[in-house]
Structure 1
Amino acid sequence: MTCKALREGGAQVLAWDDNPDTRINAQSDGVALTDLDRADWSEVRALIVSPGVPLTHPEPHRLVRLAREKNVPVIGDIELFAQAMAALPAERRPSIVGITGTNGKSTTTALIGHILKKAGRDVRVGGNIGEAILGLSPPRAKTVFVIELSSYQLDLVQTLRCDIAIWLNLTPDHLDRHGDMAGYKAAKFRIFSNQTSEDAAIVGVDDDHSAGVMTRLKASQRQSVVAVSSGRSLGHGVYALGGKVFDALGRSPRAILDLKEAVSLPGAHNAQNIAAAYAACIRLGLLPEGIADAIRSFPGLAHRLELVGTHKGVRYVNDSKATNAEATAKALASYNHIYWIAGGRKKEGGIGALAPFFPRIEKAYLIGEAADEFAATLSGTVPNEVAGTLETALDLAARDAAAGARDTPVILLSPACASFDQFRDFEHRGDMFRTLVRARIGNA
Structure 2
Amino acid sequence: MTPVTTFSGQHVALFGLGGSGLATARALLAGGAEVVAWDDGAEGVAKASAEGIPTADLREADWSNFAALVLAPGVPLTHPEPHWSVRRAKEAGVEIVGDIELFCRERRARAPGAPFVAITGTNGKSTTTALIAHVLAEAGRDVQMGGNIGTAILSLAPPDGNRVHVIELSSFQIDLTPSLDPSVGVLMNITPDHLDRHGTMEQYAAIKERLIQGAGLAVVGIDDAPSRAIADRRSDRLVRVHVGAGSVPAEGLGVADGHVRDGAGEVLADVNGIGSLRGAHNWQNAAVAVAVARALDVDPDRIRAGLVSFPGLPHRMEEVRRRGAVLFVNDSKATNADSTEKALTAFRDIHWILGGKAKEGGIFPLVPYFERVAHAYLIGAATDAFAATLEGAVPYTRCGTLDVAVEQAAANAAASGAPEPVVLLSPACASYDQFRNFEIRGDRFRELVKALP
CA contact (8 A) 2:332 2:425 kept: yes
CA contact (8 A) 1:171 1:326 kept: no
Report the CA distance shift for 1:433/1:241 in structure 2 as closer, same or farther (over 3 A): same
Partner of 2:239: 226
Report the CA distance shift for 1:188/1:173 in structure 2 as closer, same or farther (over 3 A): same
Q: CA deviation at 1:60?
A: 1.8
Letter in 1 for 2:371: P
CA contact (8 A) 2:111 2:161 kept: no
Residues of 2 paired with 1:346 and 1:289: CA distance? Answer: 44
Partner of 1:319: 331
SS of the equivalent of 1:46 reads strand
Letter in 2 for 1:254: E
Q: Which stretch of the first structure deviates more once superposed, 407-416 or 176-185?
A: 176-185
Letter in 1 for 2:365: A
SS of the equivalent of 1:13 reads strand
TM-score under structure 1 length normalisation: 0.92
Q: Does 1:126 align with 2:146?
A: yes
Partner of 1:208: 225
Report the CA distance shift for 1:247/1:401 in structure 2 as closer, same or farther (over 3 A): same
Report the CA distance shift for 1:388/1:48 in structure 2 as closer, same or farther (over 3 A): farther
Counterpart pick for 2:175 among 128, 135, 155: 155
Gap regions ≥5 residues in structure 2:
1-22
Counterpart pick for 2:116 among 96, 99, 109: 96
**Deviations 1:65-95 (CA, angstroms, capped at 9, x unpaired):** 22222222222111111111122354xx311
Partner of 1:111: 131
Q: How many residues align?
A: 429
Q: Does 1:238 align with 2:238?
A: no
Q: CA deviation at 1:283?
A: 0.9
CA contact (8 A) 2:352 2:423 kept: yes
CA contact (8 A) 1:281 1:291 kept: yes
Counterpart pick for 2:343 among 308, 331, 350: 331
SS of the equivalent of 1:10 reads coil
CA contact (8 A) 1:227 1:238 kept: yes
Q: CA deviation at 1:200?
A: 1.1
Residues of 2 paired with 1:180 and 1:371: CA distance? Answer: 32
Report the CA distance shift for 1:407/1:261 in structure 2 as closer, same or farther (over 3 A): closer
Partner of 2:58: 36
Letter in 1 for 2:62: D
TM-score under structure 2 length normalisation: 0.91
Partner of 1:298: 310
Report the CA distance shift for 1:262/1:401 in structure 2 as closer, same or farther (over 3 A): closer
Residues of 2 paired with 1:186 and 1:353: CA distance? Answer: 27
Residues of 2 paired with 1:386 and 1:147: CA distance? Answer: 41
CA contact (8 A) 2:248 2:262 kept: no
Residues of 1 paired with 2:96 and 2:391: CA distance? Answer: 48
Residues of 2 paired with 1:318 and 1:268: CA distance? Answer: 18
Letter in 1 for 2:417: A
Q: CA deviation at 1:205?
A: 1.4
SS of the equivalent of 1:185 reads helix
Q: Does 1:53 align with 2:53?
A: no
Residues of 1 paired with 2:344 and 2:311: CA distance? Answer: 21
Q: Does 1:5 align with 2:61?
A: no
**Deviations 1:258-280 (CA, angstroms, capped at 9, x unpaired):** 22242321111000000001011
Residues of 2 paired with 1:263 and 1:257: CA distance? Answer: 15
RMSD between superposed Cα atoms in Å = 1.6
**Deviations 1:235-273 (CA, angstroms, capped at 9, x unpaired):** 42112112322122xxx2211222224232111100000
Residues of 1 paired with 2:213 and 2:43: CA distance? Answer: 37
CA contact (8 A) 1:256 1:289 kept: no
Report the CA distance shift for 1:337/1:22 in structure 2 as closer, same or farther (over 3 A): same
Q: CA deviation at 1:31?
A: 2.3
Q: Which stretch of the first structure deviates more once superposed, 411-420 or 152-161?
A: 411-420
Partner of 1:247: 262
Report the CA distance shift for 1:30/1:439 in structure 2 as closer, same or farther (over 3 A): farther
Partner of 2:14: none
Report the CA distance shift for 1:309/1:89 in structure 2 as closer, same or farther (over 3 A): closer
CA contact (8 A) 1:238 1:245 kept: yes
Residues of 1 paired with 2:354 and 2:78: CA distance? Answer: 32
Letter in 1 for 2:239: V
CA contact (8 A) 1:54 1:177 kept: yes
Counterpart pick for 1:165 among 185, 198, 209: 185
SS of the equivalent of 2:238 reads strand
Q: CA deviation at 1:132?
A: 0.8
Q: CA deviation at 1:419?
A: 2.2
Report the CA distance shift for 1:330/1:349 in structure 2 as closer, same or farther (over 3 A): same
SS of the equivalent of 1:302 reads coil
